Structure 1
Amino acid sequence: MSGPVLKLQTLVLKTLCKPIANRLKKQAGLHPRFRQLIVNFAQANHRFQTNMQRHFYGHATDVEILPLNEEKAVQAAADLIGELFVFSVAGAVVIFEVQRSARSEARKEELRRLEIEPMAQKDEELAREVELLKHKLVELEHLARGRGLNGHFNFKPPPATEYVKPATPH
Structure 2
Amino acid sequence: MSEQFPMFKLGTLIARQISSPIATRIKEYAKNHPVFSQNVCGRLAWYYRYGEIHCRMMALRLAGNSNFASRHQIVVPRVSPAEAHDLGADLLGELIVFMLGATILIFEYNRQANIKAKKTRARKEKWRALKNTLEELKIEAQRQNKQLESAKERLHILRNQNEK
- Looking at structure 2, the residues matched to 117 and 106 of structure 1 have their Cα atoms a distance apart, in angstroms, of 16
- Looking at structure 2, the residues matched to 108 and 82 of structure 1 have their Cα atoms a distance apart, in angstroms, of 39
- Looking at structure 2, the residues matched to 57 and 10 of structure 1 have their Cα atoms a distance apart, in angstroms, of 42
Structure 1 residue 130: deviation in Å? 7.3
Given residue 50 of structure 1, which amino acid in structure 2 is its aligned partner?
A: I
Structure 1 residue 46: deviation in Å? 0.9
Residue number in structure 1 paired with 2:161: none
Structure (1 or 2) with the larger CA radius of gyration: 1
- Looking at structure 2, the residues matched to 55 and 115 of structure 1 have their Cα atoms a distance apart, in angstroms, of 58
Residue number in structure 1 paired with 2:51: 48
Please list the CA deviations of residues 44-65 of structure 1 after superposition, one character each: whole Å capped at 9, or x if unmatched.
3212320221122123553533
Please list the CA deviations of residues 100-130 of structure 1 after superposition, one character each: whole Å capped at 9, or x if unmatched.
2233223323332332233102322455577
Tell whether 2:91 aligns with 1:88.
no
Residue number in structure 2 paired with 1:15: 17
Tell me how many residue pairs correspond in the alignment: 137
Residue number in structure 2 paired with 1:166: none
Closer/same/farther in 2, CA of residues 110 and 11 from structure 1, 3 Å limit:
closer
1:19-168 equivalence runs, <5 A: 19-37=21-39, 38-59=41-62, 62=73, 64-128=75-139
Q: CA RMSD in A?
A: 3.5
Q: What runs of 5+ residues in structure 2 fail to find an aligned partner?
A: 63-67, 147-164
Percent identity over the alignment? 28
Structure 1 residue 131: deviation in Å? 7.2
- Looking at structure 1, the residues matched to 84 and 28 of structure 2 have their Cα atoms a distance apart, in angstroms, of 14
Per the normalisation by structure 1, the TM-score is 0.62
Per the normalisation by structure 2, the TM-score is 0.64
Moved more, 23-32 or 39-48: 39-48
Structure 1 residue 9: deviation in Å? 7.9
If asked which structure has higher relative contact order (CA below 8 Å, sep 6+), I would say 2
Given residue 25 of structure 2, which amino acid in structure 1 is its aligned partner?
A: R
Structure 1 residue 68: deviation in Å? 0.9
3-state SS, counterpart of residue 32 of structure 2: coil
Closer/same/farther in 2, CA of residues 121 and 8 from structure 1, 3 Å limit:
closer
Query: Higher helix fraction: Structure 1 or Structure 2?
Result: 2
Q: What runs of 5+ residues in structure 1 fail to find an aligned partner?
A: 136-170
Structure 1 residue 91: deviation in Å? 1.4
